A = this chain, B = another copy of it.
Amino acid sequence: MSSTYHHGDLRRALIDAAVEAIAETGPSALSLRAAAKRAGVSHSAPAHHFGDKAGLLTAVAVQGYERFADTLERSWRRTGDFIEVGAAYLRFAIDHRAYFETMFRPELLHEEDPDLVRGRERARRILYLGSAPAEEGVLYDRRALAAWSLVHGLSSLLVSGNFPPELAADPEAAFRAVAAGLGELRG
């Protein structure tokens, strides 16, 4: 039967299936066989395209980094504001939780994968350097690192359920409130 053999776009279909499954159970509980079943193919079809379980998760992470970097870049261009980019970051973590969780779980990925390295590097460049044009020698902007840490911490705490319940209802508002009052921390 020609419908099963040569699916045509199985790679993409498997990634989509994996993302769905991850959204339900988290990345560490992803099962290759379950993803294969979801895509309607045999249990070892994923291995052919991704080699490995880590290979499939790496492909998910790569796609995640692409969308992530696109989102951040767009937000930078539109607003040029740290706070707004931070809010976009937070929204990405919430709306694309499956991607977000997979991206920051290196023990499940092929860290040396060229596409992954490239995607990560692109996202890092946006986050480290902030609005500063890529000066030679300047490897990071301290303000950007602070902003990144803050919003990544908020996102991680939120996604992992370690957030004050009364703030979890509107995390973006909480983020804006916290960010607006950052100066108080110094005193």
In the complex, which residues of chain B have a beta carbon less than 8 angstroms from the beta carbon of A63?
A: none
In the complex, which residues of chain B have a beta carbon less than 8 angstroms from the beta carbon of A164?
A: 124, 128, 139-140, 145
Residue of A152, A166, A174, A185 with highest tally of chain B CB at under 10 A: A185
Q: Given A29-B107, A146-B181, are A157 and B162 also a contact pair (CB < 8 Å)? A: no
A93 vs chain B, min Cβ distance (A): 11
Complex-state Cα separation, A106 to B160, whole angstroms: 6
Complex-state Cα separation, A180 to B185, whole angstroms: 9
Complex-state Cα separation, A139 to B163, whole angstroms: 11
* Contact yes or no, B178 A149, CB < 8 A: yes
Could you list 20 examples of A-B contacts with CB < 8 Å? A28-B107, A29-B107, A82-B185, A104-B156, A106-B160, A106-B161, A139-B164, A139-B166, A140-B167, A143-B184, A146-B150, A146-B178, A146-B182, A148-B153, A148-B157, A149-B149, A149-B157, A150-B153, A153-B154, A182-B185
